[in-house]
Amino acid sequence: MRVFDWTLKFNGFPIDKAKTALQQIQNVSEANYASYLNQKKKEIVAYHLKNNTSYKSIGGNINLDDWSSVPIMTKRDLQQPLHLRLSDGFSVKNCYVNKTSGSSGDPFIFAKDKFCHALTWAIIQNRFGWFGLDFNSSKQARFYGIPLDKKGYYKERIKDVMSNRFRFSVFDLSDQAFEKLLEKFKAKPFEYINGYTSAIVQFAKFLERKKIILTQLCPSLTACVVTSEMLFEDDKLLLEEWFGVPVVNEYGASELDLIAFQNPNGQWQVNSETLFVEILDEDNQPRPYGQEGRIVITSLYNKAHPFIRYDIGDIGVLSKSSSLKLPILEKLIGRTNDIAVLPSGKKAAGLTFYYITKALIEDDGNVKEFVIEQLKPDIFKVRYTSHQELSEEKKSRVKEEIIRYLEPGIQVLFEREIVLKRSKGGKLKQFVSSIKPEDR
């Protein structure tokens, strides 16, 4: 029995209709894709101009034949009561309603009409199918957060049972917790791992310390899919070595869809079936393939709630080999609010600090996890967990490299912690700025 699909249908999401529609979209030829895309862009804009009062208020000057006349939407534009943002005929009772994680600092409640949400699951199942994984039959080892209130906790546990998955806590990453986790892998025929990158990397580091290759204990395992946090190349190699399976990188946003998924050729293939992804400069002009810019996304099928030219808050690059039908995300650089502004006025991606520091303080396996926090324009703190305190020599090397890569006059502080604070959902953010935008 296809329990996962049945559960979607039971909750009013027409998954069979969505899978048929997805197949029809995928059958559109490369030669006809520009026409298909232009038609869908016009349709969704026209729909919301006619049926959505909120969107009409910001899109009054749109010319349907001029895409550049369509305004850019941001998360702050959407921070108003949901009922004011819904299109005519839609309510919380006939939509899929959820809340963004708030990792960007601007959380809000959003909605999708039920067909649009079914399309999301059709896309996800399609992509996982590239690696022989079936949500209806493949058992998942899930590394995700879970609500701690009783109602939310048991709701997620029931969903896990219906979705053929077993959830491991990302709030306890101790060796004792990982020992218990190993017992589960010995006892259950997991086919794949799915979840937050940082937690899964910590599990792999535990296996490395124990000199255990996971497939030796769980031979049914065939893949690992990481999501929600940056995956660095050396971490990917670590996962592949100690899990013994291919590692697949996923990029998505709950309010939109799955945005990109690593295909069997190792390319980060963008979802062009239900989304239109643009890379724009600071003046909202399109960037050529191969050049970085802001990632701006249009949801082509969500009629309940407009996400049209929606600035998701990330910076990325589409490969020069991209086409309209097959866009390839060459690089995901980070979030726009992860930018560090230095005393000279120079700007640097927050992950720059993470890259520099990672190369220096993880080389001996002492440091388990760390994050970088900007306290002032010239003061940064490295918060970390480790087996032993960092030596003064290693701290000095980190400081020297940060200054060498960026600029003189930067102070670097270090704080060893027992456990690093994660978001309520269990995510670990690698770079955090405590400086208000107006003070930058």
Give me the number of domains the chain comprises.
Answer: 2
Question: Is the same domain home to 324 and 356?
Answer: no
From 300, 335, 370, give the residue that closes a domain. Answer: 335
Judgement on whether residues 170 and 227 belong to the same structural domain of the protein = yes
The pTM score is: 0.82
Q: What is the pLDDT of residue 168?
A: 85
User: What's the CATH code of the domain at 394?
Assistant: 3.30.300.30
Domain end (from 306, 335, 364):
335
CA torsion, ordered 106, 109, 112, 117, to nearest 10 deg: 80
Same domain, 212 and 326: yes
Residue 371 has a pLDDT of 87
- CATH number for the domain that contains residue 123: 3.40.50.12780
Show Cβ contacts of residue 73 under 8 Å, excluding neighbours closer than 6 positions. 58, 306, 307, 308, 309, 310, 311
pLDDT 10s digits, 323-370: 999 999 998 876 655 678 888 887 776 767 776 777 667 666 688 888
265 and 372 in a common domain: no
- On the question of pLDDT at 33 being above 90, the answer is yes
List 414's β-bridge partners, or say none.
382
Measure Cα distances from 23 to 27, 99, 368 in Å.
6, 29, 44
What domain range is 410 assigned to? 342-439
* Per-residue pLDDT tens digits for 239-258: 999 999 999 999 998 899 99
Tell me: do 146 and 217 sit in the same domain. Answer: yes
pLDDT tens, position by position, 61-116: 999 999 999 999 987 778 788 889 999 999 999 999 987 755 544 567 899 999 99
